Amino acid sequence: MESNVIVHRVVRDKKKPGQYIEPHIHSFFHYLLGLAGHVRIHTAETDFVVPPGGLAMLPPGTEHSIHSLDFSCSLNIKFTCEGPLAKPAAQFPLFVPWIGDYRQMLLKNLLEEAVLQQAGSAELASLRMYELLLLLNRTESATPPSPPVDVGRNSKLKKALDLIAIQPDLSVTELAAACGYHENYFSSFFKKTMGCTPRHYINLQKINKAKDMLLFSDCNVTEAAEQLGFSSVHYFSRVFHQLTGITPSEYLSRGSQPVTVNVVHNSNTPTGIFEFPLRDPSA
């Protein structure tokens, strides 16, 4: 199936209790992922509340208003979709209360790519959206799938990966001991199996967590470094820069509130207003 999905806009916005956006209509798809708090969306057809992990899926031409019920944070994606997926995407339910961790990761990655603005970011963002639409279009399973992780049949390697996920501040020595291996053998075996050293893999997991913390929480650079077990903010910044191409301070600055990013803006971008003004509740 050919991909004809183009992500034009990615917005992460916070709203105070009672703040709202008046009824409006887009000429493009508008998806809203709940990150924190709750927002109520009203359409001509229905009225629903989007909690953290819930997804509103508003097709083009759907008039809707958005009201924040408490201190809320959401990720808004504006995109166009043509070709074979356009019709089923327009018929998706307007709201899914929980889309699963993997699908949330796909949507969060849109903002990460938009903030990084590296070579291919626009294309990757659109491909993530395309993958999400393909998953949503599946009917054989009502349960969102988990991302596949192939660690072979080695139970000790799986234990190592599980430990890294839970305690990313473990040293390679501690990790090897917990798995019953000598450090040198463990490092050699890990690199042969995973394609990188244990330290590099640990740092990758830490930086992935750091990006999530910096974009989707109120955590600052120092707090992220401390929570992830880095020996110093300087070392954390150096590793972050090596793996992403920018410093964590730059990353946080680009993604600081309010963040509005055009992933792509070209001749295919629809005309009209992307963002409507946020209104405060009446005094």
**Hey, what domains does the chain have and what are their CATH numbers?**
5-146 (2.60.120.280), 155-245 (1.10.10.60)
How many other C-beta atoms are found inside a 10 Å radius of the C-beta of residue 217?
A: 13
Of the candidate ranges 56-65, 121-130, 190-199, 258-267, the one whose mean pLDDT is the lowest: 258-267
Q: What percent of the chain has pLDDT over 70?
A: 90
E-assigned strand segments in 55-94: 55-58, 64-68, 72-81
Of the candidate ranges 27-41, 97-111, 165-179, the one whose mean pLDDT is the lowest: 165-179
Packed helices 155-166 and 198-216: angle between N→C axes, nearest 10 degrees: 40
Task: Specify the higher pLDDT residue, 33 or 158.
Answer: 33
Q: What is the pLDDT of residues 34-60, one digit of tens each?
A: 998 899 999 988 898 998 888 999 999
The whole-number average pLDDT for the span 113-124 is 87
Per the prediction, the chain carries an average pLDDT of 85
pLDDT for 2 equals 64
Task: Determine the Cα–Cα distance for residues 283 and 278; give it in Å rounded to an integer.
Answer: 15
Task: Determine the Cα–Cα distance for residues 52 and 34; give it in Å rounded to an integer.
Answer: 4
How many residues belong to the chain?
283
pLDDT for 66 equals 96
Task: Determine the Cα–Cα distance for residues 81 and 83; give it in Å rounded to an integer.
Answer: 7
Q: What is the pLDDT of residues 228-237, one digit of tens each?
A: 888 899 999 9
C-alpha angle 211-263-100 in degrees, rounded to nearest 5: 50
Q: What percent of the chain has pLDDT over 90?
A: 39
Report CA-CA distances (Å) from 4 to 10, 30, 58, 130: 18, 16, 18, 8
**Given a cut of 60, is residue 87 above it in pLDDT?**
yes
Task: Specify the higher pLDDT residue, 150 or 282.
Answer: 282
pLDDT for 140 equals 37
**Given a cut of 50, is residue 148 above it in pLDDT?**
no
Task: Specify the higher pLDDT residue, 271 or 211.
Answer: 211
Specify which of 81-85, 139-143, 279-283 reaches the highest per-range mean pLDDT: 81-85
pLDDT for 258 equals 56
**Given a cut of 50, is residue 283 above it in pLDDT?**
no
